[in-house]
A and B are shown apart, each in its own frame.
Chain A
């Protein structure tokens, strides 16, 4: 007992000393912070406008460790590896945060993470398709502007190999499953939600009851664009075509029965005429049965939709992507919910939203640029710990952004982070598009198969059901049961060569174990209490040391701190 106490005290002293110097270094670094950001003009403006409305103290900037974890999760979809963390923490450059942002945006993993993020956001777990994933990955690899991506989705072109997979946005919704019919209303609704931030669903049968701004004609006008779209079955990849729209869409309110008509029309926009053609006159390029082409119509509603919706002068289009990317990085849309932009639901920071929208348009919908600006703002880099003087329970509205909001991790982020933490597998090591050169094909195939299995496992435990947006942190009993009892997952905490537990078992001394463990899993150094806990727990039964190391690692991976982006 005495011996143990001495050990702890000695250890504690040494640790405290180290901590003292480290803190000194950190605080001097923090003094330099305004310069440390190398903020762009938009990042500066964000902070000004957030401060203006904060109405009270703001949390200080997050530590380097917390920042590093956050930015890795956001830009490459996983926590940093131990090596990456250690390396970053040695940097003294005031530019170090900007450096890591730039490095991650330029990395091979960035398009993989963005593809995953946009897949879940746009398709809401309606299934997967390798062509769709390929389209998204390629688009983000090239940093295609959002207006172009949108055009490729809204009017997919079977002849363009690099974008044809975009048709999955349509086909995933138009596909029939058994007796479940094509979800045309869902498609119409989602075009409004995903690209304009308006949910016209309730305006399907009558003008919206609570939102004056959403009229039935908004729904019906969008329907006129896509109502004639159908799935082409003559291609192995997702593909759609449209029948000729020959007359306006007729509709009547279920309340007053008044009959109305509209041609294609964007919500709040002008109506497009529906031209009449003599039979055989509809085509610019006639269809060719031998070549299996459907021809080019003189009047194509998908073409008009793709030309008219993603325009820089369509304010709603620009605002929507700004708001959604803001939500991605900050945890809450300036307009919340994300798909209810309307005058009675104003943004929390109207001027900021307009500033960002102007900037996004001026930068031609450059997503990478925009994410960089957000990442370099003090608002993004704020700590998620409550500002001084606050205790739990006091009103601190999330839309004040006075403290960084905790955000959910998607099933995929959680998987990649768990793989990284436990050292089971190099995360993101599989890229079917061949980004990772140098691996032989059969290894890649086997690993991909393995990853797909794990992804399915994690999706079943953590993802929302199809069509339910993943916006907020939603802990579930299903997930808890998975973390406690799934045998594959638990297997990752058994000692195997190269993995975390194996490494820990080889370390000499519980302090080193604790530091390696915490830095690997939680991307931070342990507190004195935490070191003490590790030691106490391991020392209590040296015979079971390896098993206990596994439990220690399991406890951190299943903790709230690991399972959210804070």
Chain B
């Protein structure tokens, strides 16, 4: 039996690691640059592309609240109802809009935000949910779609900064998370900075000057080019990417120096992981990184949900409101799309451990900035908060909306993988008009 036919017939090979065609050759010259200044990413962005980037450098700050923030204790409170929980709601800077009392700082910048209260997504498990949400839950075509960060890295490129396009500031360990990239190939994976720290071996030994460094790397790259002839490009591309990125980072070690944060900044953002990581995230955005993911863990409050949120939410409130204010004050919000979300919300009903379980049926997310209306709340749930009463928005709608906000036409733009065109967002969904400028 022919191999390919079987794949098509049964579709049982899940996510085949197919060879990919798209490579960073669009962004990188195939020969190596000559000046030290352009050394970074090989430095060879084509002039016409560079120009359009300069004109319109759109960026993303993706705040990932891992485990599931409760919509009822945040963006969609239902005080004094059966499932409303103990907390009050408070008025915001947006007349008539109330959010949980656990978000007092954010309430003051509500007029800068765009909130969706009518998310209804597919998956109620973390293992599948995190991936499905961040990949936009496309139709199953037997390929692994990229995470949003990898998608943006691919569709918009790294920009001029020569820094990696997709950076992830997270608690715990760092590393290169190539799995995020799916079929786009490992070079679109996330470069994760564990605890926002610089990776080790960031500085070049004193014995090497820049010219030495350049010379030896040229030899290495020439060897790699020879090896890649007649072989699948995947491995060599990925290897090239990590070396290029490493070289750029070596030139920007200042990005990791947390000692230069001021006392006042730390107090405003919060002297905890999320506060510090958000500050690192701000610095990455200022340095021009295309996509910055800032991650908070520990939100899966199946037990003690209300004390949990009483402790978690104020820290989120502080860091989130601080960065939105800062981006706004620095004039960056216009070009930075800010998204704060989890893989799902939490159940209305309160379990015996005074917890809330996973709830993809009716939940919320918050956004701000680039391409979005400010001071808008889209969609609504019923009075008990159990179901969406307006049009239900799946993650595919959000992907359409985000791509639109970033100036990417999700209706016409496609990935082309092995000659197969693949839509960049779920074709049954559409952008949410009321959120867009």
A477 within 8 Å of B by Cβ?
yes
A396 within 8 Å of B by Cβ?
yes
- Rounded to whole angstroms, the CA-CA distance of A268 and B22 in the bound complex is 44
Question: Which B-chain residue is minimally distant from A550 (CB atoms)?
Answer: B216
Binary interface profile of A, 445-463, with partner B (CB < 8 Å = 1, else 0)? 0000000000000001100
Number of A interface residues at 8 Å Cβ cutoff, please give it. Answer: 60
Number of B interface residues at 8 Å Cβ cutoff, please give it. Answer: 65
A529 within 8 Å of B by Cβ?
yes
Is A482 a contact partner of B7 (Cβ separation < 8 A)? Answer: no
- Which of B76-84, B234-242, B311-319, B386-394 interfaces with chain A? B234-242
B233 within 8 Å of A by Cβ?
yes
Binary interface profile of A, 320-345, with partner B (CB < 8 Å = 1, else 0)? 00000000000000000000000011
Given contacts A344-B12, A393-B21, A560-B228, A481 and B250 within 8 Å (CB-CB): yes
In the assembled complex, how far is the CB of residue B399 from the closest CB belonging to chain A, in whole angstroms? 23
Binary interface profile of B, 323-346, with partner A (CB < 8 Å = 1, else 0)? 000000000000000000000000
B259 within 8 Å of A by Cβ?
no
Is A465 a contact partner of B200 (Cβ separation < 8 A)? Answer: no
- Rounded to whole angstroms, the CA-CA distance of A54 and B164 in the bound complex is 39
Is B246 a contact partner of A53 (Cβ separation < 8 A)? Answer: no
Q: Which residue, of A394, A396, A482, A558, has the highest number of chain B Cβ atoms within 10 A? A: A558
In the assembled complex, how far is the CB of residue B125 from the closest CB belonging to chain A, in whole angstroms? 6
Is A474 a contact partner of B178 (Cβ separation < 8 A)? Answer: yes
In the assembled complex, how far is the CB of residue A162 from the closest CB belonging to chain B, in whole angstroms? 36
Q: CB within 8 A of B176: which of A398, A460, A461, A476?
A: A476
Is A485 a contact partner of B204 (Cβ separation < 8 A)? Answer: yes
Given contacts A395-B418, A560-B239, A384 and B125 within 8 Å (CB-CB): no
Binary interface profile of B, 379-419, with partner A (CB < 8 Å = 1, else 0)? 00000000000000000000000000000000000000011
Given contacts A394-B418, A537-B219, A348 and B200 within 8 Å (CB-CB): no
Is A480 a contact partner of B246 (Cβ separation < 8 A)? Answer: yes
A475 within 8 Å of B by Cβ?
yes
Binary interface profile of A, 72-96, with partner B (CB < 8 Å = 1, else 0)? 0000000000000000000000000
Given contacts A478-B176, A485-B203, A529-B226, A551 and B246 within 8 Å (CB-CB): no
Residues of B within 8 A of A478 (CB): 174-176, 199-201
Residues of A within 8 A of B238 (CB): 473, 475
| A384-420 with Cβ < 8 A to chain B | 384-386, 392-400, 403, 406
- Rounded to whole angstroms, the CA-CA distance of A551 and B215 in the bound complex is 8
Residues of A within 8 A of B419 (CB): 395
- Rounded to whole angstroms, the CA-CA distance of A551 and B207 in the bound complex is 13
B212 within 8 Å of A by Cβ?
yes
- Rounded to whole angstroms, the CA-CA distance of A566 and B229 in the bound complex is 13
A271 within 8 Å of B by Cβ?
no
Residues of A within 8 A of B202 (CB): 481, 485
Q: CB within 8 A of A559: which of B4, B220, B242?
A: B220
| B1-51 with Cβ < 8 A to chain A | 1-4, 7, 10, 12-14, 16-21
Q: CB within 8 A of A477: which of B3, B236, B249?
A: B249
B243 within 8 Å of A by Cβ?
yes
Given contacts A386-B231, A392-B233, A480 and B245 within 8 Å (CB-CB): yes
Residues of A within 8 A of B10 (CB): 346
A533 within 8 Å of B by Cβ?
yes
In the assembled complex, how far is the CB of residue A545 from the closest CB belonging to chain B, in whole angstroms? 13
B155 within 8 Å of A by Cβ?
no
B210 within 8 Å of A by Cβ?
no
- Rounded to whole angstroms, the CA-CA distance of A519 and B207 in the bound complex is 28
- Rounded to whole angstroms, the CA-CA distance of A344 and B140 in the bound complex is 15
Is A386 a contact partner of B4 (Cβ separation < 8 A)? Answer: no
Q: CB within 8 A of A479: which of B186, B191, B203, B242?
A: B242
In the assembled complex, how far is the CB of residue B26 from the closest CB belonging to chain A, in whole angstroms? 14
Given contacts A460-B200, A465-B173, A476-B175, A399 and B13 within 8 Å (CB-CB): yes
Is A477 a contact partner of B242 (Cβ separation < 8 A)? Answer: yes
B261 within 8 Å of A by Cβ?
no
In the assembled complex, how far is the CB of residue A484 from the closest CB belonging to chain B, in whole angstroms? 6
A508 within 8 Å of B by Cβ?
no
| B177-225 with Cβ < 8 A to chain A | 178, 186, 191, 199-205, 207, 212-213, 215-217, 219-220, 222-224
Closest 3 CB pairs of A and B: A555-B219, A393-B21, A480-B246
14 A-B pairs besides A346-B10, A398-B16, A490-B205 with CB distance below 8 A are A386-B232, A394-B19, A399-B16, A475-B186, A478-B201, A481-B199, A481-B201, A481-B250, A485-B204, A533-B222, A537-B219, A555-B220, A560-B235, A560-B239
Point out residues on B near A: beta carbons under 8 Å.
1-4, 7, 10, 12-14, 16-21, 125, 127-128, 164, 173-176, 178, 186, 191, 199-205, 207, 212-213, 215-217, 219-220, 222-224, 226-228, 230-233, 235-236, 238-239, 241-243, 245-247, 249-250, 418-419
CB<8 Å pairs between A and B, sample of 20: A55-B2, A202-B127, A210-B128, A385-B230, A393-B21, A397-B7, A397-B16, A399-B3, A465-B175, A474-B176, A478-B201, A480-B245, A481-B199, A482-B200, A484-B204, A490-B205, A551-B219, A559-B220, A559-B223, A566-B231
